[in-house]
Amino acid sequence: MGLLTGKTALITGAARGIGKAIALKFAAEGANIAFTDLAVNEETEAEIAALGVKAKSYASNAADFAESEAVVQQVKADFGSIDILVNNAGITKDGLMLRMTEQQWDAVIAVNLKSAFNFIHACVPVMMRQRGGSIINMASVVGVHGNAGQANYAASKAGLIALAKSIGQEMGPKGIRANAIAPGFIDTAMTQALSEEVRKEWCNKIPLRRGGTVEDIANCALFLASDLSSYISGQVIQVDGGMNM
> Which positions are catalytic?
153
Residues 15, 158: Cα–Cα separation, whole Å: 24
What is the rounded radius of gyration, in angstroms, for the C-alpha atoms of the chain?
17
Describe the chain by its helix, strand, coil percentages, rounded to 5: 50, 15, 35
Residues 19, 25: Cα–Cα separation, whole Å: 10
What is Dmax (Cα atoms) for the chain? 54
Closest CA to 62 of 116, 20, 109, 10: 116
Question: Which ranges of the chain does DSSP label H, i.e. alpha helix?
Answer: 17-28, 42-49, 65-79, 102-108, 115-130, 141-145, 151-171, 189-192, 196-204, 214-225
**71, 156, 142, 137 alpha-carbon torsion, rounded to 10°:** -30
